[in-house]
């Protein structure tokens, strides 16, 4: 387990060279950002979506101000959903912005689920995952049960049960909807064209636990290379941060 002194923890986007990321934390600024791509036609000369996450956690601007100032940039990116969390009060502020319909929404529900679709139109697997998340967190909600909580959350992230029928998913992905209907996606090699193994499995799972006092525990589960799709091996890494909570 690593106790990090850095103010920023990033899961880098390795496909671009603009300092972008799909997942970022700033204990100093008490922020977290996640970016989810939306399936849509690619834009020519599209800007890096990962830059939006990195820039958000590097500054002190609240999400509403940040979105207003970055909209013109976002409109030049391929479609995405940006999930932001601000830990500045007793309850975190969770918001989503997407450049498909240019909407910024604040979410009040204590249990939320997001995926590669518009937040107001959740896939069936998102609804099922949110319900299971609520069951897990309601059962293992004490510090003394943290290890069990992490184990159950990892099981949730590796959940391979299909959640069908899902008309939205079937319409959007008529050739792959069965494989994409589970929380953990396992796509046979070759079904995604030439990218092969890189899209065969989700390579990393990340769990973030935050206490009322501001202690943040980040757990990463990463597939070990070379990857055997039928018998995947995982390695676990943990990072800890402390935020100054009001």
- Give the 3-state secondary structure of the chain: CEECCCCCEEEECCCCCCCCEEEEEECCCCEEEEEEECCCCCCCCCECCHHHHHHHHCCCCCHHHHHHHHHHHHCCECCEEEEEEECCCCCCEEEEEECCCCEEEEECCCCCCCCCCCCCCCCHHHHHHHHHHHHHHHHCCCHHHHHHHHHHHHHHHCCCCCCCCCHHHHHHCCCCCCHHHCCCCECCCCCCHHHHHHHCECCEEEEEEECCCCEEEEEEEEECCCCCCCCCCEEEEEEEEECCCC
**Residue 128: which domain range?**
123-246
Q: Are residues 98 and 194 in the same domain?
A: no
Q: Are residues 51 and 142 in the same domain?
A: no
CA nearest 133: which of 150, 160, 114, 153? 153
26 bridge partner residues: 31
Question: Which structure tokens are listed for 146?
Answer: 């943290």
Q: Are residues 109 and 171 in the same domain?
A: no
Could you give the number of structural domains in the chain?
Answer: 2
CA nearest 68: which of 97, 39, 101? 97
Q: Given 81, 115, 149, which residue is the final one in a domain?
A: 115
d(CA 98, CA 96): 7
Q: Given 115, 150, 175, which residue is the final one in a domain?
A: 115
Q: Are residues 162 and 225 in the same domain?
A: yes
Q: Are residues 42 and 107 in the same domain?
A: yes
Q: Are residues 246 and 140 in the same domain?
A: yes
Task: Tell me what pLDDT residue 8 has.
Answer: 60
Q: Are residues 162 and 206 in the same domain?
A: yes
Q: Are residues 127 and 228 in the same domain?
A: yes
Task: Tell me what pLDDT residue 229 has.
Answer: 74
Task: Tell me what pLDDT residue 13 has.
Answer: 52
Q: Given 84, 115, 146, which residue is the final one in a domain?
A: 115
pTM given for the model: 0.89
pLDDT 10s per residue in the chain (246 long)? 555 545 565 555 555 555 568 899 898 899 999 999 999 999 999 998 989 998 999 899 999 999 999 999 999 999 999 999 999 887 899 999 999 999 999 999 999 999 999 999 999 999 999 999 999 999 999 989 999 999 999 999 999 999 999 999 999 999 889 999 999 988 766 554 433 344 445 678 999 999 988 999 999 998 888 877 778 889 999 988 888 776
Q: Are residues 82 and 133 in the same domain?
A: no
CA angle at 101 for the pair 14 and 129, rounded to the nearest 5°:
65
Q: Are residues 86 and 192 in the same domain?
A: no
Q: Are residues 174 and 83 in the same domain?
A: no
């Amino acid at each position: 387990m690593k106790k990090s002194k850095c103010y920023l923890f990033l899961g880098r986007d390795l496909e671009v060279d603009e300092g972008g990321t799909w997942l970022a934390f700033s204990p100093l600024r008490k922020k977290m950002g996640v970016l989810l791509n939306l399936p849509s036609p690619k834009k020519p000369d599209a800007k890096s979506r990962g830059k939006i996450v990195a820039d958000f956690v590097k500054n002190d601007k609240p999400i509403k101000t940040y979105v207003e100032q970055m909209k013109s940039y976002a409109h030049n990116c391929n479609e995405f959903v940006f999930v932001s969390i601000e830990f500045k009060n007793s309850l975190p502020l969770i918001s989503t912005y997407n450049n498909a319909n240019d909407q910024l929404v604040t979410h009040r529900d204590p249990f939320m689920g997001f995926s590669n679709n518009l937040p107001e139109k959740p896939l069936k697997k998102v609804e099922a995952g949110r319900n299971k998340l609520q069951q897990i967190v309601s059962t293992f909600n004490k510090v003394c049960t943290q290890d069990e909580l992490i184990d159950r959350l990892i099981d949730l992230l590796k959940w391979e049960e299909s959640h069908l029928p899902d008309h939205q998913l079937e319409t959007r992905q008529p050739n792959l909807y069965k494989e994409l209907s589970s929380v953990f996606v396992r796509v046979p090699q070759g079904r995604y064209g030439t990218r092969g193994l890189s899209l065969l499995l989700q390579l990393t799972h990340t769990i973030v636990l935050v206490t009322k006092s501001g202690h943040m525990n980040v757990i990463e589960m990463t597939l070990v290379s070379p990857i055997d799709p039928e018998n995947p091996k995982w390695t676990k890494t943990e990072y800890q941060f402390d935020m100054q909570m009001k």
